[in-house]
Structure 1
Amino acid sequence: MTDDRKALIPVWTLATGDVQVPAVAGDGPMTAERLTELRSVLAGLADAPIATLEVHPLPGELDRRRGIPLDAVSPLATHLSQLITQTARNSSAAAKATASGEGLYRLVVPAKVAAQMGQGAVKSMVAKGTTDALRSPLVNTATGRIVGGATFIPVGSAATAGAAGGAGATAGIAVGGSAMLTVAAPLVLMAVAVGVSANVDRKRQQAIEHITELLEQLQEQKLDEEHSELDGCRDAIDKATAILLDQGKLGASLGLDSAVHAINTALGAADRRLAQWQNALAKLPEGKPVDIGTLTKSFPGVDDLGGTFRAHLELASLAIALKRRVVVLQAVEHAQSAPDNLFENFARALKADQQRLDELESGIAGVLIGLSVLELARPSGLRPVFTTGEVDRLMRAAHHIRRLGDGAVVNSRPTDVTIEIARSQDGSVVVFPAQPA
């Protein structure tokens, strides 16, 4: 990786429908700051969602296991190949950047699209021993520090190509819009669908890791059965994901219906537990210290890292992650069944079904924040002096309870979302988890 402050990065402006916006992009080079401003302007002016797609050199070290692989004939890979072929004919910058056949494609969708996807669907979450951010070509691979800037070159398409596999909208110039605006609804739809699916699947994996550790300590059969039933849904969801992303049709033989039933049952249990937690918090004396014994009656194990309360939290997290992935599948299926307004159907279905999950996550976050600000009372008793063990327990409990609020967000504001796609020379792609931009 060299210090190159003159790197030229082609960038496409992708619309998800025929929209008319002023020619704000222009056809000359722009800075990263100017590109960010352009995204904001287009998001505000256009009726249909508008995204930007950049192509960077493929990093030498890339952990592809974190993403979802799709072969070269999959709809997403096909639409990306079509876009590359069309624009390379008319743009020397695009032709040069895509000549090798491989690259790291970075799709940024605006915040209002993120809001349609559900505010809780995409959040930062770092897996153990890994980092979320991919190394861009402007980061030194040895030090991890940013070593250079980039100049972005707008790319347009002068040709129109039919969408592969009957995915709906075609790729081409948006009528009456900016000369650099390309209609590519299927490409944006599939990228968002796979990126969100990869994101929530990673959350599922982390939740399972935490639950497994907790259940090994608790050895509670009922909780272990809940965990097993939820984890058993993974196979059906994985198969349904593969079929839908290849634009196949879902059948009863997949077992998705039974998986959805198990997930909904777990969500019902999470709703009931949340209501109990909220009632228990409301009954605590406001502004007064709370005895640890009183607290653990309603929140068993809250003063420990391996208690039942924490297991219930992780089970709820797992159910939410699985449900979010199912919701994405249902939204894709719904959108593909109505190709004339493909992205609008996808966004509408996704937003409606995500609302309940957002409310559940927000409610749980509210409970965690409420617990984290509680003041614990000194142990009650006739003795004026407390043992070292009692003091240590109180200090540990206070520390664990305060940490409950770390990272809990009650109402997160939607931000721009970045989805990175690694394309190989054979046209196959790996889509990495969607992340806040």
Structure 2
Amino acid sequence: MTDDRKTIVPVWTLATGDVQVPVLTGDEPMTSERLAELRGVLAVLADEPIATLEAHPLPDTIDRGRGIPLDAASPLAQHLSQLITQTAQGSSAAAKATASGEGLYRMVIPAKVVAQVAQGVVRPMAVKGANGEVYSALVNSKGRIVDQARLVPVGQVAAAGAAGGAGATAGVAVAGSAALTVAAPLVLMAVAVGVSAHADRRRQQAIERITELLEQLQDDNLKAERRDLDGCRFAIDKATAILLDQGKLGVSLGLDSAAHAIGKALIDAADRLAGWQDALDELPDGKAVEIATLAKSFPGIDDHGGTFRTHLEIAALAIALHRRVIVLQAVEHAQSDPDNLFENFTRELKRDQQRLDELESGIAGVLVRLSALELARPRGRRPVFTSSEVEHLMRVAHRIRQLGDGVTATRRSTDVAIEIARDTDGSVTVFPALPV
């Protein structure tokens, strides 16, 4: 990948365990396309998850409010600092790129690994009011994505062992293999924080939409649901900060109460989903449906806001919050067994993913079915409708068709990028994980 200044960017190949693969890289610069090909090949050939880490210049302006900040003493920041220090001694490209102490580090996890680690977790998040754009921290001073740097492989080195007790699996790759840095703790913490940041961003977006919808509704029950769910954020934020700083969770945090409230919201969402599916099943096949008939099972579907749309956003909020809880559980279990970091981490991430994926898939199916419905003209004695009635029918039809626009068309895994801004004092900000 190159920025406007044609910067030479060092790139590390990170493994999460001792692996041996053929030497696929030399010392010469390569393109981002070539690096993507190599990532795919390494993911196929290696038994352990393999990622790449690029060191880019820090953009002039960057929205740190989208990420999760960690101080220099946190395990992730320490692992990154140790990697930089040790590789700078044997690589002029790494030494030059990291000399200032600050930079934007971009870790890319191959699709094969994403399927193991975060399937269903990471999805594109459209910028509000924009068409098809996604959030990205890797931009230059003009706001354009930095995607043309000349990538230089960093030679084989050993990542330092477990800083702060984060894990002891770091070491040198098997002799004769490709230039792999064994850095399970660094990869694990980057994935954990990036996925958590992504889920929290989805929570923020859901809260914004719910607040906007509730302004049009006078429904105390829905407002209470929103308050109960958003109130869970404080316990989750505290638990996230403690775990990512290598602390231990306690009952006083209130995470158990938060998980209970989220669980109740997920049950409500599943019940509502079943009702929506039953209502669609009862509609006559191949026949147009009146708006009034739809509104009985999907209240407010004929309006800009409505109870149905609020239920959708509350479900999205509950799912986003539970995604963060799952990551917390995974990190806690992985840190409890430092000799088996990545296996524990992936196993815990998978535990509850299937149920959440099925819920999201069911809601997406309802939206797609609704968007495909043909609306019938309302029944009445008058043979001719007024212009306002015709306009209302057209507006409702347009809104219902739009329900399927935001549905993910495929569940195929893609490479995932996690961007980490590092300051001169060693502190870092990890941005939401994004599909590449």
**TM above 0.5:** yes
User: 1:90-147: per-residue Cα shift (whole Å, max 9, x none)?
Assistant: 11111111111010000000112211234321111134379612244xx5x337377x
Q: CA deviation at 1:363?
A: 0.7
User: 1:370-423: per-residue Cα shift (whole Å, max 9, x none)?
Assistant: 000100001111211112232122111101000000120264211000000000
How far, CA to CA, are the matches of 2:143 and 2:331 in structure 1?
40
Range that drifts further, 269-278 or 163-172: 163-172
2:12 is equivalent to residue 4 of structure 1? no
How far, CA to CA, are the matches of 1:291 and 1:2 in structure 2?
55
Q: CA deviation at 1:216?
A: 1.5
Where do residues 40-189 of structure 1 align in structure 2 (5 Å cutoff)? 40-128=40-128, 132-136=135-139, 139=140, 141-142=141-142, 144=144, 149-159=148-158, 161-176=160-175, 178-189=177-188
How far, CA to CA, are the matches of 2:101 and 2:62 in structure 1?
17
Range that drifts further, 19-28 or 343-352: 19-28
Range that drifts further, 404-413 or 51-60: 404-413
Normalising by structure 1, we get a TM-score of 0.95
Range that drifts further, 282-291 or 409-418: 409-418
How far, CA to CA, are the matches of 1:96 and 1:390 in structure 2?
68
Aligned to 1:414: 413
Range that drifts further, 259-268 or 208-217: 208-217
How far, CA to CA, are the matches of 1:64 and 1:143 in structure 2?
15
How far, CA to CA, are the matches of 1:145 and 1:311 in structure 2?
34
Query: Aligned-residue CA RMSD in angstroms?
Result: 1.7
2:213 is equivalent to residue 210 of structure 1? no
Counterpart AA for 1:261:
H
Identity of aligned residues (%): 71
Question: Structure 1 residues 246 and 109, CA, compared in 2 at 3 Å: closer, same or farther?
Answer: same
Q: In the alignment, is the contact (CA less than 8 A) between 1:9 and 1:54 conserved in 2?
A: yes
2:222 is equivalent to residue 220 of structure 1? no
State the SS of the aligned residue for 1:26.
Answer: coil
Counterpart AA for 1:53:
L
Question: Structure 1 residues 385 and 179, CA, compared in 2 at 3 Å: closer, same or farther?
Answer: closer
How far, CA to CA, are the matches of 1:329 and 1:410 in structure 2?
29
Aligned to 2:356: 357
Q: CA deviation at 1:29?
A: 2.1
Q: CA deviation at 1:33?
A: 1.4
Where do residues 180-259 of structure 1 align in structure 2 (5 Å cutoff)? 180-259=179-258
State the SS of the aligned residue for 2:215.
Answer: helix
User: 1:296-337: per-residue Cα shift (whole Å, max 9, x none)?
Assistant: 111111121211000000000000000000000000001111
Aligned to 1:32: 32
Q: In the alignment, is the contact (CA less than 8 A) between 1:77 and 1:428 conserved in 2?
A: yes
How far, CA to CA, are the matches of 1:118 and 1:71 in structure 2?
25
Q: CA deviation at 1:51?
A: 0.1
Aligned to 2:319: 320
User: 1:157-204: per-residue Cα shift (whole Å, max 9, x none)?
Assistant: 434522111112343321245241010000000000000000010110
Q: In the alignment, is the contact (CA less than 8 A) between 1:167 and 1:186 conserved in 2?
A: yes
Aligned to 1:423: 422
State the SS of the aligned residue for 1:217.
Answer: coil
How far, CA to CA, are the matches of 2:87 and 2:424 in structure 1?
18
Normalising by structure 2, we get a TM-score of 0.95
State the SS of the aligned residue for 2:344.
Answer: helix
How far, CA to CA, are the matches of 1:2 and 1:271 in structure 2?
46
Residues matched between the structures, number: 432
Q: In the alignment, is the contact (CA less than 8 A) between 1:104 and 1:423 conserved in 2?
A: yes
How far, CA to CA, are the matches of 2:224 and 2:4 in structure 1?
54
Counterpart AA for 1:69:
P
Q: CA deviation at 1:47?
A: 1.1
Q: In the alignment, is the contact (CA less than 8 A) between 1:157 and 1:172 conserved in 2?
A: no
Range that drifts further, 200-209 or 109-118: 109-118
Range that drifts further, 56-65 or 148-157: 148-157
Q: In the alignment, is the contact (CA less than 8 A) between 2:22 and 2:178 conserved in 1?
A: no
State the SS of the aligned residue for 1:253.
Answer: helix
How far, CA to CA, are the matches of 1:135 and 1:235 in structure 2?
29
How far, CA to CA, are the matches of 1:254 and 1:17 in structure 2?
34
2:310 is equivalent to residue 311 of structure 1? yes
Aligned to 1:377: 376
Aligned to 1:16: 16
After the TM superposition, which segments of 4 or more aligned residues of structure 1 sit over 4 Å from their partners?
A: none
Q: CA deviation at 1:18?
A: 0.8
> Structure 1 unaligned runs (5+)?
none
> Structure 2 unaligned runs (5+)?
none
Aligned to 2:342: 343
Question: Structure 1 residues 143 and 239, CA, compared in 2 at 3 Å: closer, same or farther?
Answer: closer
State the SS of the aligned residue for 1:210.
Answer: helix
Range that drifts further, 109-118 or 335-344: 109-118
Q: CA deviation at 1:353?
A: 1.4
How far, CA to CA, are the matches of 1:45 and 1:143 in structure 2?
37
Q: In the alignment, is the contact (CA less than 8 A) between 1:160 and 1:170 conserved in 2?
A: no
Counterpart AA for 1:133:
S
Q: In the alignment, is the contact (CA less than 8 A) between 1:362 and 1:410 conserved in 2?
A: no
Q: CA deviation at 1:34?
A: 1.1
How far, CA to CA, are the matches of 1:135 and 1:102 in structure 2?
14
How far, CA to CA, are the matches of 1:159 and 1:208 in structure 2?
44
